A and B are shown apart, each in its own frame.
Chain A
Amino acid sequence: MSILVQNLRRTFGTFQALRGINLEIGHHQLVALLGPSGSGKTTFLRMLGGLDFPDPGNGRIIIDDEDVTEQPAADRKTGFVFQHYALFNHLTVYENVAFGLEVRPKATRPSKNAICDRVLELLRLVQLEGLEQRLPSELSGGQRQRVALARALAIDPKVLLLDEPFGALDAKVRKDLRRWLRSFHQEIGVTTVFVTHDQQEALELADMVVVMNQGQIEQVGPPQEIYDHPATPFVYEFLGDVNKVRKPGRPDLFYVRPHEIQIVFAGDCSADFHARIEHLFAAGPSARLTLRLLDSRETIDADMTRQQLDEMGLSEGDEVGLKLSASPPSAPPAASL
């Protein structure tokens, strides 16, 4: 289902959490709200779910051609998954998932058997068959997360909203669940919005990434576009892995990613800079060099292949030459910083 958000504002006391958000989300999309803490991404998500409301008269939220701005959570039919799951600890897994169906008014409540079928189907979908009678305290973090997901899906939500869905999990489980969520989304096709502060997660998982900063949207686009063509210095820096470099003889700063720097021998006269290798890290698919520029004394990071590293026989303390790719695809001036 599609979501349309117009000019959304929210202030808490004197703090402006959202300063005019405009966004359009299409059918079946998997959207990431990416930003540092305090950027307003969770506030925005809560508003989509009807758990928070914009300042009176400031903004509209339209889900599926219906204006839901003033509609409370209970009427909105959005599935919300909380950062710390918020499972009902006194209820079993089964009762948790069935909750949204059992609280319906008698007229629209499915029969006991229908509820049972639906719950078991959902538990199969999130790969938790056989755990119906467990209490949440008897599950691992990843399992609780999936119970929360099944519970949110039980009400056939128009949109699924996930608040830092992997925030509280360890790295390995995070990675597995991320992959699983991707294919899960393809399977169920519900429009999904999730909040994250991890740029890797957003880029890997989403169809569309919304980068937020200080209550505003900095950039919206598919992951690759965001990575290759950051619209603002903030996006450039927040996506990470970037050097600020001053070209010789020119006053303005440029952004350049580590893999866009070419390492050559110190004697190569085509080199733009000369630098000394301060640290060399080769325990990975490619080698990461920390370099100190000889003229400006700044440090920058550069990547090179392991093969090239071996061929050049470099080690810490060596002097090398650096070449910036002829026209780096992403190098907006950063003079504003």
Chain B
Amino acid sequence: MATVSKNTAKRPRSILPGFGLSLGFTVTYLGLVVLIPLTMVFVKTSGLGFAGIWKAVSTDRVLAAFRLTFGLSALAGAINCVCGFLVAWVLVRYRFPGRRFLDAVVDLPFAMPTAVAGIALTALYAPNGWFGQYLTPLGIKVAFAPLGILLALTFIGLPFVVRTIQPVLEDLEPAQEEAAASLGATRGQTFWRVVFPPLIPALITGSTLSFARAIGEYGSVVFIAGNMPGKTEIVPLLIITKLEQYDFAGATALAALMLVISFLLLLITNSLQRWSSRRHSK
């Protein structure tokens, strides 16, 4: 009896059993699968010393690759934010023949090997491809140019936005829109003041996922990028190149820097998302 009361005094009894066990499993699993491998990146890098790291990452070629990767990934995330929203809106709000088929198509970038996407896009947009042959005379270069990389990154990120917004959109009560209308709101006001705000957290989450996915993307980009150093070379490719030259330390230095930047960006967007979902919580 005494021990029981001592236990209950320590922490409140929970109706869910197995907290200790499941937390232990979670920590072990995350450690083995995520944290330890990532730590190795830093361990390997630290062998270089600060000067070595600086030397490895401060070249023009590396900086250009970083600018390209993060810039285009952010742009792809923004494009997907808008277009993914529209796709989700159409899939949720309207009933039309072929809707289920379109809904399934959205998942293809998830399921397909990304290299296949890269090859397909290159075939379409290369100067002699279906689209490329008409774009090239107009002076628009897609394949083997930053525009092509952007296309590939947008392609692989789309499902993230659509799939995070869809359930939230489905949960919206039609009565809220009717209420807005009966209070005299125009369609535009109803959308911006009633429908859109509850979607903001999901929209941020989806775009962030799309952005994060794009930063690490390799397979679909290498085919369409052309990989010209300083122009169309992305960081993941640069890392592979260094590995092929047996420059392991240099490769891990780039990887470590990428990790740090990604982590900081995710931290920012996560707190942004948390802030907005608190504002819009039910």
A53 interfacial by beta-carbon distance below 8 Å: no
Q: Is the CB of A80 within 8 A of B182?
A: yes
**CB closest residue in chain A, given B188:** A103
Give the most central of B173, B182, B280: most A CB within 10 Å.
Answer: B182
Q: CA of A148 to CA of B183 in the docked complex: distance in angstroms?
A: 11
Q: Is the CB of A73 within 8 A of B178?
A: yes
**Overall SS of chain B's interface:** helix
B281 interfacial by beta-carbon distance below 8 Å: yes
Q: Tell me which residues from 144 to 165 in chain A have a Cβ below 8 Å from any Cβ of chain B.
A: 148, 151-152, 154-155
- Chain B contact patch, size range: 20 to 34
B67 interfacial by beta-carbon distance below 8 Å: no
A118 interfacial by beta-carbon distance below 8 Å: no
Q: Is the CB of A77 within 8 A of B184?
A: yes
Q: Tell me which residues from 163 to 188 in chain B have a Cβ below 8 Å from any Cβ of chain A.
A: 173, 175-176, 178-186
Residues of A within 8 A of B178 (CB): 51, 73, 80, 82, 86
Query: Closest CB-CB distance, A254 to chain B, in whole Å?
Result: 45
Q: Is the CB of B183 within 8 A of A100?
A: yes
**CB closest residue in chain A, given B185:** A103
A86 and B282 in contact, given A77-B184, A103-B193 (Cβ under 8 angstroms): no
Residues of A within 8 A of B197 (CB): 90
Residues of B within 8 A of A84 (CB): 173, 175
Give the most central of A80, A90, A99, A103: most B CB within 10 Å.
Answer: A90
Q: Is the CB of A137 within 8 A of B281?
A: yes
Q: Tell me which residues from 180 to 215 in chain A have a Cβ below 8 Å from any Cβ of chain B.
A: none
B194 interfacial by beta-carbon distance below 8 Å: yes
Query: Closest CB-CB distance, A262 to chain B, in whole Å?
Result: 50
Q: CA of A80 to CA of B110 in the docked complex: distance in angstroms?
A: 45
Residues of A within 8 A of B194 (CB): 88
Give the most central of B176, B181, B183: most A CB within 10 Å.
Answer: B183
Residues of A within 8 A of B226 (CB): none
A-B pairs under 8 A by CB, number: 76
Select one of B183, B186, B198, B282 contacting A99, CB under 8 A. B183
**CB closest residue in chain A, given B183:** A100
**CB closest residue in chain B, given A50:** B182
Q: Is the CB of A99 within 8 A of B193?
A: yes
Q: Is the CB of A49 within 8 A of B182?
A: yes
A171 interfacial by beta-carbon distance below 8 Å: no
Q: Is the CB of B181 within 8 A of A86?
A: no
A19 interfacial by beta-carbon distance below 8 Å: no
Q: Tell me which residues from 59 to 84 in chain A have a Cβ below 8 Å from any Cβ of chain B.
A: 72-80, 82-84
Q: CA of A155 to CA of B183 in the docked complex: distance in angstroms?
A: 7
Q: Is the CB of A90 within 8 A of B280?
A: yes
Residues of B within 8 A of A77 (CB): 184
B189 interfacial by beta-carbon distance below 8 Å: yes
Q: CA of A72 to CA of B185 in the docked complex: distance in angstroms?
A: 11
**CB closest residue in chain A, given B178:** A51
Select one of B176, B181, B198, B281 contacting A51, CB under 8 A. B181
Residues of B within 8 A of A49 (CB): 182
Residues of B within 8 A of A83 (CB): 175
Residues of A within 8 A of B282 (CB): 89, 137
Query: Closest CB-CB distance, B73 to chain A, in whole Å?
Result: 30
Select one of A75, A80, A90, A137 contacting B179, CB under 8 A. A80
Chain B residues in the interface with A (C-beta under 8 A): 173, 175-176, 178-186, 189, 193-194, 197-198, 279-282
CB<8 Å pairs between A and B, sample of 11: A73-B182, A74-B181, A74-B182, A87-B179, A88-B179, A89-B198, A89-B282, A90-B281, A99-B180, A148-B179, A154-B183
Chain A residues in the interface with B (C-beta under 8 A): 49-51, 72-80, 82-84, 86-90, 99-100, 103-104, 135, 137, 148, 151-152, 154-155
Besides A74-B185, A77-B184, 14 other CB < 8 A contacts?
A49-B182, A50-B182, A51-B181, A73-B182, A82-B175, A82-B178, A86-B176, A88-B176, A88-B180, A90-B281, A103-B185, A103-B189, A151-B183, A155-B183
Those 10 A-B pairs whose CB atoms lie nearest each other, nearest first = A100-B183, A86-B175, A90-B280, A103-B185, A80-B182, A73-B181, A86-B179, A73-B182, A82-B175, A90-B197
